[in-house]
Structure formats: C-alpha cells, structure tokens
C-alpha cells in the first residue's frame, strides 16, 4: 500500500511540475507568433490604416489643393456628394463598367481555363503566353490598344473592313457610342488571364474518374460540364466575379490613358470623377468624401456578396 501510495504521489508531483511548464509553452508560442506578425501589421498600418484615416479626416474638412489651412466642416462634403447631380452619372457608369467587366472577364477566363485544361500540343506554351496581357505594364497595354483601335491606321479597323463587317473606319475610343464598351473590353482583356489561373487551379480538383463515369453513363458534353465540372469550380467563379467587380470599379489607369473619361464623359467612372474633383477642380475634401463613400459601398457590396453566395459542391454531392 505504501509503495502504491508513494508511486501515485510521485506521479502527481511530476504532473504538477509539468503542468506550469507545459502551459508556459503556449504564451511563449503566442508571443513568438505576435513577434513574427508584427512587421506585416506595422506595414499594413502604415500603408492602409494611416492613409485611410487621413482620407476620412480630409473628407470632413474643406481642404483643397490650392493651399491654406483646412477647416472642419463635418458631413457637409458628404451631403454635397449625395445631392450633387454630377456624381450620379459616374456612379452608374462605374456599376455598369464593373459588373459588365466582371461578367466578361469571368466568361473569358472560364472558357480559356477549360481549353487550357485539355491536353494538346503546345499546352505549356499556351499557358505561359496567355499571361502576357496580365504581366505587361498597364501603360503599355493602354497605348497598344490605342494604336490598334486607331481610326486611321489601327489594325482592328483594317481587319474588320477586310472582312466586310464595317464600311468605314470606326473611332472606337472617340465615338460616344463605342467608347464605353471598348474600354470595358480592354480592361477585361487586361485582367482575365489572372482569373484564368484561378479557375485552372480549381479544375485540378476534378478527378478524372468523374469524367470517365459520366461518359460511361452516356452524358453529353454539356451534362458533364454542368453536373461534374461546374459544381467544383463554382466557388472560384464566385470569387473571380467578386474580384473582377471590386478591381474594375477601382480602375483608373486604363480609362485615363485611353479616353481620359471622354468622349462627352461617356467613360467617366467614379475614380476618374474623383481625380478630376481633386486635381482639376481643386476640391480635395469633396473628392475624399467621394472616395470614402465608394469604399463604404464596396464593403457593403462585398459583405452581401459573400453572405449570400452558396458554397461549392463536395465530392459526395457530385457522386
């Protein structure tokens, strides 16, 4: 009995001794994790939090780019922005630009990913080459398309006339009837390769056995796509659509380098309107209020999108 009791006491003593020592490991690891995370948190604070906070502060003042001491005006700039008739047009164009661009990008990316997922001669070269439009700097992309779409010597007009599709050259970037859809297509061409990579990565989740089983059952190509492929890539398609919308609505460079918001303000989106309000009309406070309002709208849009997007299929659901 004494031997058993002493053994139990010794075991309890060892457990008690190991307890504080083992529990001390967690705080040490936590502190180590915070130490590693500190640089990126500081970087995010300096590059995002501080500029965002300063932008919000400027939106509450009458600051302008002509100098002088900004005076606090409260929400006056937001009232001006919401009641100003010149803001509604750029906002609606931004929605059309972003949603239309996201749809085009997603369709192009899905089609390209499905093609690149097949085995064919030069597959690896094609996968590398499709990234060219995304890797090329934006300014190069803009001037390249300005040259190709030129009404006098552009290759696009030359090809369309050679095929008999148009009778005379079209000024795609200077005609109010064509400018908006043209820059939308240019922006979609700029970004769809990145979306293609995301969808292509999702396609690797689909096991070949599913396709083989579908073919054995006599499924058509459309049935294979809708019942096997689509359920697996659906979550990525939603992500691609969300990213395409958020990125497109914030695009400034493509529009400014191709049309500068013209002709007749047909391509003036919110980023262009904000730039003009700040650096051409010198009303920095109102421009900041427009920026903050747009950011809040995008946050609400992203939250609603994520909140109501259905999840993707599991293997059991596909089977």
Q: The CATH number of the domain where 101 resides is what? A: 1.10.3720.10
CB 294 within 8 A of CB 270: yes
Which letter, b or e, does each residue of 273-291 get, where b requires 16 or more Cβ atoms within 10 Å of its Cβ?
bbbbbbeeeebbbbbbbbb
* pTM, two decimal places: 0.79
Q: Which pLDDT tens digit goes with each residue over 6-37?
A: 444 544 544 444 444 444 555 777 778 788 88
- Does 15 reside within a domain? no
| Rg value, the chain, Cα | 28
- Per-residue pLDDT tens over the stretch 261-303: 989 999 999 999 999 999 999 999 999 999 999 999 999 988 8
What is the CB-side half-sphere exposure of residue 114 using CA atoms within 13 A? 16
The answer as to whether 33 is a domain residue is no
Candidates 200, 254, 274, 263; CA nearest to 232 is 200
Residue 18 lies in a domain: no
How big is the CA angle at 104 (ends 102 and 108), to the nearest 5 degrees?
A: 115
What is the distance in angstroms between the CA of the first residue and the CA of the last residue of the chain?
62
The answer to whether residue 256 sits within a structural domain is yes
Q: Report yes or no on 137 lying in a domain.
A: yes
The two structure tokens encoding residue 47: 């590059």
Q: How many domains does the chain have?
A: 1
- Domain for residue 216, yes or no? yes
Residue 242: domain span: 86-318
Looking at the domain assignment, is residue 56 inside a domain?
no
């Amino acid at each position: 009995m004494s031997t058993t009791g002493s053994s139990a006491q010794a075991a309890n003593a060892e457990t008690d001794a190991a307890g504080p020592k083992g529990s001390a490991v967690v705080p040490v690891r936590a502190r180590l994790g915070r130490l590693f995370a500190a640089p990126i948190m500081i970087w995010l604070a300096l590059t995002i939090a501080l500029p965002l906070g300063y932008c919000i502060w400027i939106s509450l003042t009458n600051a302008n780019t002509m100098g002088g001491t900004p005076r606090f005006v409260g929400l006056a700039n937001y009232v001006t922005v919401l009641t100003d008739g010149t803001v509604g047009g750029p906002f609606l164009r931004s929605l059309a630009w972003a949603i239309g661009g996201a749809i085009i990008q997603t369709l192009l990316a899905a089609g390209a990913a499905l093609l690149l997922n097949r085995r064919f001669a030069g597959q690896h070269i094609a996968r590398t080459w499709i990234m060219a439009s995304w890797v090329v700097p934006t300014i190069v992309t803009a001037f390249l398309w300005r040259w190709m779409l030129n009404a006098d010597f552009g290759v696009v007009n030359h090809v369309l006339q050679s095929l008999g599709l148009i009778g005379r050259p079209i000024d795609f970037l200077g005609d109010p009837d064509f400018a908006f859809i043209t820059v939308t297509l240019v922006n979609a061409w700029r970004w769809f390769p990145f979306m293609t990579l995301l969808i292509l990565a999702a396609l690797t989740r689909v096991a070949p056995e599913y396709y083989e089983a579908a073919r054995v059952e006599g499924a058509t190509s459309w049935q294979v796509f809708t019942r096997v492929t689509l359920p697996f890539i659906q979550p990525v398609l939603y992500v691609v659509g969300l990213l395409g919308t958020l990125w497109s609505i914030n695009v400034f460079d493509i529009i400014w380098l191709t049309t500068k918001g013209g002709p007749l303000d047909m391509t003036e989106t919110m980023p262009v309107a904000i730039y003009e309000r700040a650096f051409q009309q010198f009303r920095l406070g109102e421009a900041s209020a427009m920026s903050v309002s747009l950011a809040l709208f995008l946050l609400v849009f992203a939250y609603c999108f994520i909140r109501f997007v259905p999840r993707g299929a599991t293997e059991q659901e596909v089977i």
